[in-house]
Amino acid sequence: MNNVTSISEPSFSELSFSELSFSQQKLIELNAEDGFASLVDGFNRASEKFSERPAFTCLGQTLCFSEIEQLSRQFGCYLLEHCGLGAGDRVAVQLPNISQFPIAIWGILRAGLVVVNTNPMYTAREQLHQFNDSGAKALVVLSDLLPVTEQVIPQTGVETVIATSAIDLLQPQPLPASSLSNLVSFTDALALGADKQLPERSSSMSDVAVLQYTGGTTGPSKGAILTHGNIFGGVRMSKVSVDFSDEEVPDLLIAPMPLYHVFGFTMNAVSGFLGGSHSVLIPNARDIDSMVATMKQHPLTTMAGITTLLQGLMRHPQFDEIDFSRLKGIVVGGAALVKEVGDEWEARTGAPVFEGYGLSETTAVLTCNGPDKSRLGTVGLPMLFQEVKLIDVEGNAVATGERGEVCCRGAHVMQGYWNRPDATAEALDADGWFRTGDIGVMAEDGMLTIVDRLKDMVIVSGFNVYPNEIEDVAYGHGDIIECAVVGVADERTGEAVKLFVVSTNPDLSEQQVKDFCREQLTAYKVPKHVAFMDELPKSPVGKILRRELRD
């Protein structure tokens, strides 16, 4: 039996609603709401339908749907009227999980512009690449990050920098002293857009909505082009398969996953809003004390997270004081779920853990366990409305139970990589199949297990870390002549980066190498371990043998 799975809309004509599976019931409910012309159309309908419901809570402040509508309209007006931006222009958003994030991204989309999600932890080098590669003309940034922003912006085409403090919506803060001449505060931008009318724009599902940057196994990071239709395709699949929302009794979503990450963006900033849910934003998921305190105040119905986050929460002395009586289930991704962690979570909360799998290029979730069928240790069944196959090195479908590269095709798959036709051609074939680069095994019942994630990629606290990027930085040190990166097990972060170095300087220390890397890499990419060798193990043709380094 060849491993090609096509999953489309089932027929319900022979069944009563009560006899249908969870997925089939959600599909009927969702089909009644279909017909969105774009994400903006969906936003407008949700804003009107759920007008006075709470939409986002952060730092003790709650904004309802009508307030998000009003503030995002003001922000969109500012971008068009005062920044001179036009349809399709890119706006980078470099914010943590604060309420300004959904206001900004919905304002950008409503103005017919494109969101460029940017990690706030990026170094100057990483920001410079992303801003220049995307051609961003404006940047929304946390004011705490301005010292680095000042170094970067003069070397880019960014014409306007909009800065905000975390508490600006509660109590507007003055802008810090800055060398930037094109700097404006977020609250001033809202005020400048308050007396303007947002032009009616006929966005369509084929319009680009987001550039979602994803690390490359070779070369610099690439921007996955996601249209309104791609994102809605991802939302639609997730709602059918794992969404627990009930529009009569709104879900309360705890949102620790970064909104700039494709999973947090799709699930909380978009899907949660379109479905009328209330999202409680967690600005810093590393602050477990604060997160537990927030969860005690807001009894959750669902949450998305990673294994290391669950471990951190369960180790907290007040974890069992959280009210889990409304919790229907949580979705875990980003790194493999440790079975013992999933078992403990289910035992202590009484709610299931559903592991999923996806990529930036597939608009978050590709497969997931769900209420209909779940098995710890797998990443579940392929979502509806797509095709999935596993292939061998020659591109042929493998038999059930055999290893193969996971490929998929559907409305959720990106259009390609921004300005990277060669990389696009490698990832997407002429028939629309996307090659994930991940190796999996599919069981007889369709459950997928991932056995390798891009082979050499390291996953640190759910973040993808690519060896080539770290090695390129390390090679910039004058005393390093050879190096290689592998992932090693880490109790706190799942995996950690280990850098093997061959140096001409016998006095070069582990700390010196770490300090050098820290100047150019986001913290989670900095090697936790550095080992010195006389030479690296290589194959007969000179290829570094990472498997020997792992051993």
The DSSP-derived string for 28-67 is: HHHHTT---SSHHHHHHHHHHHTTTSEEEEETTEEEEHHH
Q: Using an 8 Å Cβ cutoff, are 305 and 354 in contact?
A: no
- pLDDT for the residue 5: 54
489 and 362 assigned to the same domain: no
Q: 202 lies in a domain?
A: yes
- pLDDT for the residue 333: 81
**What's the rounded Cα separation, in Å, for the pair 276 and 285?**
24
327 and 233 assigned to the same domain: yes
Neighbours of 518 (CB within 10 A): 15
414 and 464 assigned to the same domain: no
Phi, psi of 154 (to 5 degrees): -60, -15
Amino acid, res. 149? T
233 and 107 assigned to the same domain: yes
- pLDDT for the residue 52: 96
**Structural domain of 483:** 458-550
Q: 250 lies in a domain?
A: yes
Neighbours of 350 (CB within 10 A): 10
Number of domains in the chain: 2
- pLDDT for the residue 364: 78
381 and 258 assigned to the same domain: yes
Q: 19 lies in a domain?
A: no
Q: 443 lies in a domain?
A: no
90 and 125 assigned to the same domain: yes
pLDDT in 10s for each residue of the chain, 551 residues: 455 554 444 332 233 334 444 444 444 444 444 578 899 999 999 999 999 999 999 999 999 999 999 999 999 999 999 999 999 999 999 999 999 999 999 999 999 999 999 999 898 998 999 999 999 999 999 999 999 999 999 999 999 999 999 999 999 999 999 999 999 999 999 999 998 888 877 788 899 999 999 854 345 689 999 999 999 988 887 776 555 555 567 899 999 999 999 999 998 999 999 999 999 999 999 899 999 999 999 999 999 988 878 989 999 999 999 999 999 999 988 766 777 888 999 999 999 999 989 999 999 788 988 777 778 778 988 888 888 999 988 899 999 999 889 999 988 999 999 999 999 999 999 999 999 988 889 999 999 988 766 667 888 998 878 787 898 899 889 899 889 999 999 989 999 999 999 999 999 999 999 999 999 999 999 999 999 999 988 754 456 788 789 87
536 and 409 assigned to the same domain: no
- What angle in degrees, to the nearest 10, is found between the helix axes of 22-31 and 228-241? 140
Largest CA distance in the chain: 76
Q: 338 lies in a domain?
A: yes
Question: How crowded is the C-beta side of 224, counted as CA atoms within 13 Å?
Answer: 25
Question: How crowded is the C-beta side of 126, counted as CA atoms within 13 Å?
Answer: 24
Q: 230 lies in a domain?
A: yes
Phi, psi of 296 (to 5 degrees): -70, -30
395 and 306 assigned to the same domain: yes
DSSP code for 465 = E
Strand partners, 5: 388
User: Tokens 């990472």 appear where?
Assistant: 546
394 and 509 assigned to the same domain: no
Q: What is the CATH number of the domain that holds 493?
A: 3.30.300.30
Please say which residue of 373, 405, 436 terminates a domain: 436
Please say which residue of 406, 436, 466 terminates a domain: 436
380 and 529 assigned to the same domain: no
Please say which residue of 404, 436, 468 terminates a domain: 436
484 and 415 assigned to the same domain: no
- pLDDT for the residue 472: 82
Q: What is the CATH number of the domain that holds 340?
A: 3.40.50.12780
**What's the rounded Cα separation, in Å, for the pair 126 and 130?**
6
User: Tokens 């050879």 appear where?
Assistant: 482
Q: 114 lies in a domain?
A: yes
296 and 408 assigned to the same domain: yes
Q: 286 lies in a domain?
A: yes
